[in-house]
Amino acid sequence: MDDSLRTEAGLPSSQRWALLAGVYAFGCATLTAFVLSDALGLFAEVIGLPTAFSMPLLATPALVVGAVVWWALVERPGSLTYPRGAAFGLLTALVTGALWTVRFAFVWGPEMLTAGPVPLLIGFVLGMVAVAGVLVGLPITYVRRRSRERSDAAATANSL
């Protein structure tokens, strides 16, 4: 990890990548929410989200969760691997889904988590976003690895 490369704002490369990963996770979560909008639209309605902005609002926790998970799992020396990238996507998706499930339980009561088709619906949505999360984690890991290789090559060339 080359923290000597800094922007004008003074953020180390690893922090910039964590922020970028959070924005990327938010974008992918928004896209996934729109794909699952039939199921998630109903969910957003029952927890009181405005229908016009419900899909981006459902994706909002991924912005923060994605940055934190990327920082914790990927932005450490020697840990930039594809399994860690996939874990980043998986954990970001599952934590985001869990936060909204907690919100649902807060609004309707925990007993509603076991009522009728609710567990099936929650399981379906969490399963779909888990698969999407794993797939989403791989491209950003590839880009980060390529970026690190280029910065390492540039640092080597500058030291000669």
pLDDT for 142 equals 95
pLDDT for 155 equals 65
Residue 69 lies in a domain: yes
Q: How far is CA 42 from CA 31, 34, 47, 50, 122, in A?
A: 17, 12, 9, 11, 12
Residue numbers in the chain where pLDDT is lower than 50: 1-7
pLDDT for 2 equals 47
How many structural domains does the chain have?
A: 1
Other CB atoms within a 10 A radius of the CB of residue 13 amount to 19
Residue 159 lies in a domain: no
> Domain range spanning residue 110?
13-148
Residue 4 lies in a domain: no
Other CB atoms within a 10 A radius of the CB of residue 93 amount to 29
Tokens (6 digits) for 7? 């922007």
pLDDT for 101 equals 92
Residue 74 lies in a domain: yes
Other CB atoms within a 10 A radius of the CB of residue 38 amount to 7
Q: Where are the alpha helices (DSSP H) in the chain?
A: 13-35, 37-46, 54-73, 82-108, 118-159
pLDDT for 5 equals 46
Residue 130 lies in a domain: yes
Residue 110 lies in a domain: yes
pLDDT for 67 equals 96
Residue 85 lies in a domain: yes
pLDDT for 160 equals 63
